[in-house]
Homo-oligomer: A and B are copies of this chain.
Amino acid sequence: MNIDFSPEELAFQQEVRSWFAENLPAELKRKTELGIMLSKDELVVWQRILNAQGWLVTGWPKEYGGPDWTPTQRYIFDMERARANAPIGLSMGIIMLGPVLMAYGTQEQKDYYLPRIRNCEDWWCQGYSEPGAGSDLASLKTMAVSDGDDYIVNGSKIWTTYGHWANRIFCLVRTSTEGKKQEGISFLLIDMDTPGLEVRPIVSIDGEHHLNETFFTDVRVPKKNLVGKEGQGWTVAKYLLTHERTTIAGVADSKVHMANLKRMARENGANGEPLMNDPSLRQKLAKAEINLLALEYTNLRTLAATAAGKAPGPESSLLKLDGTAVQQQLSELGVELSGQYAWPWKADDGVGPDEFAATTMRYAFTRAATIYGGSDEVQKNVIAKMVLGLNFK
Measuring CB to CB, which residues of chain A are less than 8 angstroms from any residue of chain B? 279-280, 283
Contact = CB atoms under 8 A, between A and B. Distances in A.
Contacts of A279: 279-280
Contacts of A280: 279-280, 283
4 contacts: A279-B279, A279-B280, A280-B280, A280-B283
Nearest to A283: B280
A283 B284 CA distance: 13
Q: Decide if the interface of chain A is mainly helix, strand, loop or mixed.
A: helix
Contacts of A283: 280
Nearest to A278: B279
3 A-B pairs with least C-beta separation: A279-B279, A280-B283, A279-B280
A4 B283 CA distance: 41
A34 B318 CA distance: 44
A279 B279 CA distance: 7
A276 to B, nearest CB: 14
Nearest to A279: B279
A337 to B, nearest CB: 18
A373 B136 CA distance: 38
A279 B278 CA distance: 10
A195 to B, nearest CB: 44
A290 to B, nearest CB: 15
A283 B283 CA distance: 13
A260 to B, nearest CB: 25
A20 B283 CA distance: 44
A280 B284 CA distance: 11
A149 B303 CA distance: 75
A271 to B, nearest CB: 15
A336 to B, nearest CB: 15
A280 B280 CA distance: 7
A322 to B, nearest CB: 24
A384 to B, nearest CB: 16
A295 to B, nearest CB: 24
A279 B280 CA distance: 8
A131 to B, nearest CB: 22
A165 to B, nearest CB: 40
A283 B279 CA distance: 11
A280 B287 CA distance: 13
A316 B133 CA distance: 38
A280 B286 CA distance: 13
A279 B283 CA distance: 11
A34 to B, nearest CB: 31
A77 to B, nearest CB: 40
A189 B192 CA distance: 78
A146 B280 CA distance: 67
A277 to B, nearest CB: 12
A270 to B, nearest CB: 15
